[in-house]
Chain A
Amino acid sequence: MKQVLHNISLSVLPGQIIGYIGPNGAGKSTTVKILSGIISDFEGEAQVAGYDIRKEPLKVKEHIGYIPENASLYETLSPMEFLQFVGQLHGMDLARIEDKASKLLGLFDLKNNAHDRMNTFSKGMKQKVLIISGIIHNPEVIFMDEPLDGLDANSVIVVKEILMQLAREGKTIFYSSHIMDVVEKISDRIILINQGIVIADGTYAELSQGKEVNSLEQLFTVLTGKSDHSQRAGDIIDILEQ
């Protein structure tokens, strides 16, 4: 087993939106998978919603929602069937699921596709179903791994708004992403990891203080030590023109 994360130590308060960022292969997904109980083979301690993930994994899982990055769902089912499936696993009764699911699908512009099999869906449509499946049981903590992947601009705005309203109601959102301007806008706190180590932790204002940056994107490059962009781009162009 390769060690991906090193001494990641965090505590997150209810009602916070955490923007979890880092370069490719930094360990973002691994963190999210450990916290949502997908990877159980880890060292160290983790508590979610007040329960120890190792000792009471079921308690944790009852209180969380997880939205994975690579649109993986059972594509031969319809959105309604999939949501029924997921809802029932959380112990919701069928009538309530159906009611909630059809309203949510409607709000995500999927009303007409509610009973179509998802193997014909576009990436964005599948992503919408995944988002609903992660929140339909009204979890206290939501883990999201690149949730806006493939969504159109309107849906992105809706999801961002949903997240901010959920946070206002006291839900905790752990948001792992590459899209810096979304993270910058919605996060109450930004955590940057690189090669499995936390290298920055704080609000955007705190992190950018004293640095000559005007966006999270620029801050990201400064903090991950990759600020030689124009040099690299120049080299690439040179090679192309050889």
Chain B
Amino acid sequence: MVKFILILIRPFRKLLEWAGVNYQQFEVILGAKLTMDNRKMLGNSSQKKTLKNAMLTQVIIYTGIGGYLTGLLYKGDGALFFFSTLFFSFIVIMVVMGLISEFHTILFDTRDNSILLPRPITPRTLLFVRVMHIMVYLMLISLSLSIIPLLAFAITYGVPAMLLLLADVILITVFSVFLTNIIYLLLMKFITGERLKDIIVYSQILLTIIFMGAYQFMPRLAENQALITGFNQLHWWMYLVPPFWMSASITPILNGGFNLQAAGFLFLSVAMPLLGLWLVSSVLARNFNQNLSTLDQGDTKSEKKKGKAETSSVVDFLSRICSYTIEESISFRTIWSISNRDRKFKQAVYPGLGYVFIMIIMAFVNSKTPLSEIGLTKKFLILIYAPSFILYILVYSIRFSDNFKASWIYQTIPVQRPGYIISGAFKAIAVQLFLPVFMIVNTATLYFWGFGVLVDVVYGFFAIMMMTYVMLLIQTPAFPFSDERSAEQSGRNVLKAFLMFFAIGTLGGIHFLLIYLKINLLFVLPVILLVLFLLSRKYRLTPWRKMIKVN
């Protein structure tokens, strides 16, 4: 695969040499970089487990996504403009997202500073390696996404149309690189080092949520006939939105009716990416590299974050009311601070918070009941139980960290029962991340259904907690942030996710059944509380022999 890519680039040798690149070094560095990419799953921080052919795996996955998209949206002649706009938008999103979320590990590869800088390589060569490395990676994404759409085009419109689409895909990819470069440069202009990494993580989280939302909304878009016909009108603002350049020029070419407007779009679709490419390689990339080399010099400025004093008194209070033992409250406070600061933890957990809201919105958008009559339904059960999704993500993620080696500390402390630690840790993240979402969502419940459902909310809360303790008790306990994420674990995730949805469904079902049988929840609540008390006690008293040995 790597060899193949290098051969594909070889025709550009003369051009690159003309631009001042030492081609032999260029190929050696690019080859090494691609080999390394190929051995690890991009975006996966796990260093231990490496893959044989990560690139090919990625190509297959993206081809599948492209196929899914085509199957969903491609309707042949009638909706060509609609389809191509969405398709090009999707490529822009995927490329920008890929560049921001996955590629930053390579862009910010500070090992380069000590490995490459002392070698006799010109900055120009290094610059072109970086640009080409990004291009290869992104072309891989956008072209594999396009395989199925290209085939569909070839069948409907013939091979020349397919080649036209291919050219557009390449152009929009180039343009997206330009776009992302500008975003990065602006970010780096105003913020440095650690702050930048924070922002990257937050944008990753945001994009994941957008992606999950889009996945949910896309099928409904495809069914919306008004929207599809609405797409046949051209508006002035379409000149400002890059995907329209491609779609508004490709549609009249294939469907007939090419006019001055279409020519305008065609011009933009070719000229802007080329202009962008030139800007990236001449002006932007130079600044980019300069900024990059300052990144790992650390924040010597006054940017260091401190634990805020005023929040710590609140945390202090929370840790005391939630804990039975001193050890538990110590663990509560420590884990509270770590989970508040650890980027990887946020990255794993925050998208789940967003997803809860997407799930809830979807459930209500799909329903036929108008909002004014919603108070008559039993839909509040969705609002009560959907947030529990977060808890299960937390239960799963709490044990993982990039900094897992630091957990040696737990093995050395003289604590009678490790249960105190893991119980305090669980309570900290539940109070920090689950409780606020649950309260926000169920404020809405009380607003729409009135205080009559307060008992249901309270009952639901404790039922969820009870179920969570069951989940905690059936898995092998591990200290917080003590294990390394690895690719093979994600296989078991599917099963866990299934179990999780099953558990949420069961809880909601039981609740519904109780309402249906007209059993007063106040009679059941004491039972739930007793079981919850016993389960949490059992968890808190987890003995040493049950802990898994990691490290």
List residues of chain A with CB within 8 A of the CB of B411.
Answer: none
List chain A residues, Cβ under 8 A from B24: 88, 91
Q: B117-130, CB under 8 A of A: which get 1 and which 0? A: 11111100000000
A62-82 vs B, CB cutoff 8 Å, 1 = contact: the mask equals: 101110101011111100010
Measured CA separation A120–B116 after assembly (Å): 22
Q: Evaluate contact between B120 and A74: CB separation under 8 angstroms.
A: no
A144→B217 CA distance, assembly (Å): 58
Q: Is the CB of A77 within 8 A of B32?
A: yes
CB-CB < 8 A to A76: which residues of B? 35-36, 39-40, 50
Asked whether, in the complex, the Cβ of B300 is within 8 Å of the Cβ of A2, the reply is yes
User: Given the interface contacts A62-B120, A89-B119, does A77 sit within 8 Å of B36 by beta carbon?
Assistant: yes
B551 near A: Cβ within 8 Å?
Answer: no
Contact with B along A81-92 (1 / 0, CB 8 A): 100011011110
Q: How far apart are the CA atoms of A90 and B109 in the complex, in Å?
A: 21
CB within 8 Å for A74 and B122 given contacts A85-B32, A89-B28, A117-B50: no
| Bound CA span A58–B25, Å | 13
Q: Is B369 an interface residue (CB 8 A)?
A: no
Contacts of A74 in B (CB 8 A): 32, 36, 111, 115
Q: Which residues of A contact B120 (CB under 8 A)?
A: 58-59, 61-62, 89-91
CB of B48 closer than 8 Å to a CB of A: yes
Asked whether any CB of chain A lies closer than 8 Å to the CB of B302, the reply is no
Question: Which residues of chain A are near B110, meaning CB under 8 Å?
Answer: 72
Bound form: Cα–Cα A58–B117 in Å: 10
Q: A37 and B114: CB pair below 8 A?
A: no
How many Å from the CB of B114 to the closest CB on chain A?
4
Query: In this assembly, does B312 line the interface, its C-beta being within 8 Å of a C-beta of chain A?
Result: no
Within 8 A of A (CB), among B260-279: none
A76-B39, A76-B50, A119-B48 known; A81-B32 Cβ under 8 A: yes
Residues of chain B contacted by A70 (CB below 8 angstroms): 114
Task: Decide yes or no: A66 and B114 within 8 Å by CB, A61-B119, A90-B120 being known contacts.
Answer: yes
A38 within 8 A of B: yes
Find out whether the CB atom of B121 lies under 8 angstroms from the CB atom of A89: yes
**Distance in angstroms between the alpha carbons of A117 and B244 in the assembled complex:** 46
Q: Is B29 an interface residue (CB 8 A)?
A: yes
Interface membership of A36, Cβ < 8 A: yes
Whole-angstrom CA separation of A73 from B36 in the bound complex: 12
Q: A74-B36, A81-B32 are in contact. Are A38 and B118 (CB under 8 A)?
A: yes
Q: Is B47 an interface residue (CB 8 A)?
A: yes
Determine if B113 is an interface residue (Cβ-Cβ < 8 Å). Answer: yes
Contacting residues of chain B (43-89) with chain A, CB-CB under 8 angstroms: 47-48, 50
Q: How far is the CA of A24 from the CA of B321 in the complex (A)?
A: 44
A72:B114 contact, CB within 8 angstroms: yes
**B119/A86 in contact, CB under 8 A:** yes
Cα-based distance from A91 to B47 in the complex (angstroms):
30
Q: Is there contact, CB below 8 Å, between B115 and A73?
A: yes
**A173 vs B234: C-alpha distance when bound (angstroms):** 70
Tell me whether A77 and B47 are in contact in the complex, defined as CB-CB below 8 angstroms, given that A37-B118, A88-B28, A89-B119 are known contacts.
no
Given the interface contacts A76-B40, A77-B36, A117-B39, does A88 sit within 8 Å of B117 by beta carbon?
Answer: no
A-chain residues with CB within 8 Å of residue B117 when the two chains form the complex:
36-38
Given A61-B119, A66-B118, A77-B35, 18 extra CB contacts under 8 A: A36-B118, A37-B117, A37-B118, A38-B114, A38-B117, A58-B120, A58-B122, A59-B120, A61-B118, A64-B118, A73-B111, A85-B32, A88-B25, A88-B28, A89-B119, A117-B50, A119-B50, A120-B48
* A/B interface sample: 13 pairs, CB < 8 A: A2-B300, A37-B118, A58-B122, A65-B118, A70-B114, A76-B50, A81-B32, A86-B119, A88-B24, A89-B29, A91-B120, A117-B50, A143-B118
Chain B residues packing against A (C-beta within 8 Å): 24-25, 28-29, 32, 35-36, 39-40, 47-48, 50, 110-111, 113-122, 300
